[in-house]
Amino acid sequence: MSPELEKCPRSLLVCEKSNFMNEKSRHDIHVSKHSFNYKISVLIPECAVLPANISGVISNFSPYYLVRDLPVYELLQDKSHETVVQKGTVYAVSYNTKIDEDNSIALLPSGQLVLSLNKDAYEQLGLEGRPSLYNHRKAMRYVVTLNLRDKTLAPGTKRYQRVLSGLKDRLPLRYDFLFTEHNTDEDKTLYKLLSQYKPVEHKAVLSHHTLKNLPCPTLYPSDLQGTTLSCDPHSFLEWLGAVNLDISCENAADSFLSTYICPEPKSSVSQALLCTITGFISPEDVYLLLQELRKYFDEPKFTQWLSLTVHGFMDSPVSWGATEHGFLKGGENFYNLVCFKNQDYWLHMATGAHDGCPP
């Protein structure tokens, strides 16, 4: 076997257990800090049809916009500063940029503009930053974080003019961007602001199908670590990934190089609904969906639990909050919530080797 295949990159899985009704529960904070999401997967055992109320929440997700060839300095212009930065509801990320090869940009609702730059671009820009946490022996990448809500970066100040000059003259970066804004108003302020660059509006795409006779782990809310009753978190997430990828979980030991079976203890469910939403999805929309999924158990159901998995962009410059995200080999950047009938939940937060620890 190739030495490269034998190497298994380090990954980090943080697990929490709580109850949604617990006043100290931090599920809402965790959801809000994962800003750049491109896919949601929902698995509901013993369900064949997507409930209308859940479908309604998804159909009301905020639209997102693809803007081609947008100069980065446009995010600092006076009108942008007033509409995008001060309003605090806009998410933006450079599109089709690779964080291990290209310069990547992200704008958070907090007003933080994050620029992940290669060494040449960083030196040309001439703004203060720090070496990437994931450099090798020599610093080849740098991260510049600008708090656009800082008074020293208000339009008209000397520092503002220096930053604007850097992005407009010294390093005139232009990229395709994805934008989304939670609670967009009817006059589409963001759309009008970007109108000269001909933004293309998109809606999140929903797909769902029913799985038949699915081998399914037996989960108990009190047993997060899988000591005696439930499978352990790694095994559960591996099984969940296999289900999402339509990989058989009933492989028999035969001549195949590798096989996979559902972890023990397990049972077979007659049907399960797998629902996938793709697009640029804000944390606020994720939270609204989570609230609706919790209501699923208001009426008696055969299943004891359901699962919500949220995937972040693999090439986003940040993962949790403003924590730097790195790719390495897998670009892991997701979290999973297992919601139980009694309002208990498990939270799994996963990152790769080039990420800080989730909050």
Mean pLDDT score, 110-136: 90
Poorest-confidence range of 22-36, 106-120, 149-163, 242-256? 242-256
Shortest CA distance to 230 belongs to which of 305, 147, 150, 290?
305
Burial class (CB in 10 A: 0-12, 13-18, 19+), 154: middle
Contact (Cβ atoms closer than 8 angstroms) between residue 319 and residue 273: no
Q: What percent of the chain has pLDDT over 90?
A: 54
- Tell me if 104 sits within 8 A of 94, measured CB to CB: yes
Considering only 80-89, 111-120, 133-142, 241-250, which range has the smallest mean pLDDT?
A: 80-89
pTM, to two decimals: 0.91
What residue type is assigned to position 182 of the chain?
A: H
Q: What are phi and psi of 202, to 5 degrees?
A: -130, 155
DSSP-H helix ranges across 220-295: 233-244, 283-294
Structure confidence by residue, pLDDT tens digits, 19-57: 999 999 999 999 999 999 999 999 999 999 999 999 999
What pLDDT, on a 0 to 100 scale, did the predictor assign at position 12? 78
Q: What is the pLDDT of residue 1?
A: 46
pLDDT higher for 163 or 77? 163
> What confidence tens digit (pLDDT) does each residue in 307-347 have?
999 999 988 899 888 888 876 666 678 999 999 999 999 99
Q: Is the pLDDT of residue 251 over 60?
A: yes
Measured between alpha carbons, how far is 187 from 290 in angstroms, rounded to an integer? 28
Tokens of 311: 């995937």
Whole-angstrom Cα distance, residue 253 to residue 250? 10
What average pLDDT score do residues 234-260 get? Answer: 76
Q: Given this model, what pLDDT does residue 36 score? A: 95
Q: Per-domain residue ranges for the chain?
A: 3-61+204-352, 64-202
Q: Pull the structure tokens for residue 101.
A: 């090869």
The answer, yes or no, to whether residue 223 has pLDDT greater than 70, is yes
User: E strands within the chain?
Assistant: 11-19, 37-45, 64-71, 90-94, 104-107, 112-118, 130-131, 141-147, 174-181, 200-202, 205-217, 266-281, 305-312, 333-340, 344-352
**Separation of CA 76 from chain center:** 25
pLDDT at 5: 47
CA dihedral 141, 142, 148, 153 (to 10 degrees): -130
Q: How far is CA 254 from CA 214, 250, 251, 259, 278, in A?
A: 21, 12, 9, 8, 37
pLDDT in tens, 166-216: 999 999 999 999 999 876 555 566 777 788 889 999 999 999 999 999 989
Mean pLDDT, rounded, of the chain: 87
User: Does the structure show a pLDDT above 90 at 222?
Assistant: no
Q: How far apart are CA 108 and CA 88, in angstroms?
A: 8
CA–CA gap between residue 122 and residue 56 (Å, rounded): 45
What distance in Å separates the CA atoms of residue 330 and residue 350, rounded to the nearest whole number? Answer: 11
Q: In this predicted structure, what is the pLDDT of residue 192?
A: 75
Strands 112-118 and 141-147, by their bridges, are antiparallel
How does residue 127 score in pLDDT terms, banded at 50, 70 and 90? very high
